[in-house]
């Protein structure tokens, strides 16, 4: 298998309840940053390294994700259409993502992440699989991640990141005066799984049981892989930002709007 044809399973089936009413009609991966969905930004990170074979593990409002990609060219391009001949469309610009291959797999409305990975993998050929979340952004070097995974020879790799602070940090002097307000500073210690994972097929078949919707990738399977010495961490030292809340959505939107989005590697 050519490295750039390795499938990338993107977990985009959750309900996104921490974003409130915003995800009642539009799933979190389709929430816009600029004029494109969050999911597109995740895919562009991979695409900038030549990885273009995407498998979308859908669930909650999965039909909206299917609809977006079925009409992708029309939604993202200028075009001319003869209303009497609706099947004749002339697109006025080339499709930058024309080499992307997108597979949508319904993995269940309420299935957990492990179950989604297992179900999506059943449609894929033999070989390694990359997995990530549909709601986390960072300029991760995907090529180096894959090389790291191949070199260590274990069954699985996760990308470790330093999570952003959930709240602005107040710097206060001895008199109680605020001298600095740092908006969402990076934590000074500790790392989390930021997604951007690589699994050998054996890891999925051995550690994620088929047919069990309750399996969370981050609990049983990851713990078992770690216990067996089969889980490695690829360290990403740069920017990383999840989109779990409306406030985080606004932060990413502002970074994109001002032309200072660190994840834009294309």
141: in domain: yes
Position 139 in a domain: yes
Name the pTM for this structure: 0.89
CATH of the domain at 222: 3.90.550.10
The confidence score (pLDDT) of residue 189 equals 53
The count of structural domains within the chain is 1
Instruction: Give the DSSP letter string of 122-189.
Output: TTS-SS-EEEEETTEE----HHHHHHHHHHH--SEEEEEEPPBPSSPEEEE-TTS-EEEEESSPBPSS
DSSP state of 74: H
262 domain residue, yes or no = no
235 pairs with which residues across the strands?
A: 160
**Per the domain annotation, does 13 fall within a domain?**
yes
Whether residue 37 is contained in a domain is answered as yes
Q: What are phi and psi of 53, to 5 degrees?
A: -100, 95
pLDDT score, position 191: 81
266 within domain boundaries: no
Domain containing 60 equals 3-257
Report pLDDT digits (tens) over 129-176.
999 999 999 999 999 999 999 999 999 999 999 877 654 444 434 554
Per the domain annotation, does 69 fall within a domain? yes
Task: Tell me whether residue 264 is in a domain.
Answer: no
Backbone angles phi, psi at 101, to 5 degrees: -115, 120
| Number of other residues whose CB lies within 10 A of the CB of residue 80 | 9
What pLDDT, in 10s, does the model give residues 16-46?
Answer: 888 988 899 999 999 999 999 999 999 999 9
Q: What is the pLDDT along the chain (266 residues), one digit of tens a residue?
A: 678 899 999 999 999 888 988 899 999 999 999 999 999 999 999 999 999 999 999 999 999 999 999 999 999 999 999 998 878 899 998 899 989 999 999 999 999 999 999 999 998 989 999 999 999 999 999 999 999 999 999 999 999 998 776 544 444 345 544 244 455 555 555 788 899 999 999 999 999 999 999 999 998 899 999 989 999 999 999 999 999 999 999 999 999 999 999 999 99
Q: Write the CB contacts of 87 (distance below 8 Å, at least 6 apart in sequence).
A: none
């Amino acid at each position: 298998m050519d490295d750039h044809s390795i499938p990338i399973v993107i977990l985009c089936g959750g309900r996104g309840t921490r974003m409130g009413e915003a995800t009642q009609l539009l799933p979190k991966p389709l929430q816009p940053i600029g004029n494109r969905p969050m999911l597109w930004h995740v895919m562009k990170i991979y695409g900038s390294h030549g990885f273009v074979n995407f498998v979308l593990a859908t669930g909650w409002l999965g039909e909206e994700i299917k609809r977006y990609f079925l009409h992708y060219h029309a939604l993202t391009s200028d075009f001319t259409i003869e209303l009497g001949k609706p099947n004749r469309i002339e697109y006025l610009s080339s499709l930058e993502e024309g080499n992307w291959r997108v597979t949508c797999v319904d993995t269940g409305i309420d299935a957990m992440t492990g179950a989604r990975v297992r179900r999506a993998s059943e449609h894929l050929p033999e070989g390694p699989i990359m997995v990530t979340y549909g709601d986390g952004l960072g300029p991760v070097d995907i090529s180096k991640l894959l090389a790291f995974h191949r070199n260590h020879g274990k069954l699985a790799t996760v990308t470790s990141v330093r999570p952003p602070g959930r709240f602005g940090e107040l710097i206060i002097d001895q008199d109680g005066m605020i001298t600095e307000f740092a908006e969402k500073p990076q934590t000074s210690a500790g790392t989390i799984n930021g997604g951007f994972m690589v699994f050998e097929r054996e890891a999925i078949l051995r550690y994620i049981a088929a047919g069990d919707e309750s399996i969370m990738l981050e609990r049983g399977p990851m713990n078992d892989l770690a216990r067996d010495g089969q889980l490695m961490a690829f360290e990403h030292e740069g920017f990383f930002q999840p989109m779990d809340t409306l406030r985080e959505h606004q932060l990413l939107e502002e970074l994109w709007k001002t032309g200072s989005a660190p994840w834009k590697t294309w």
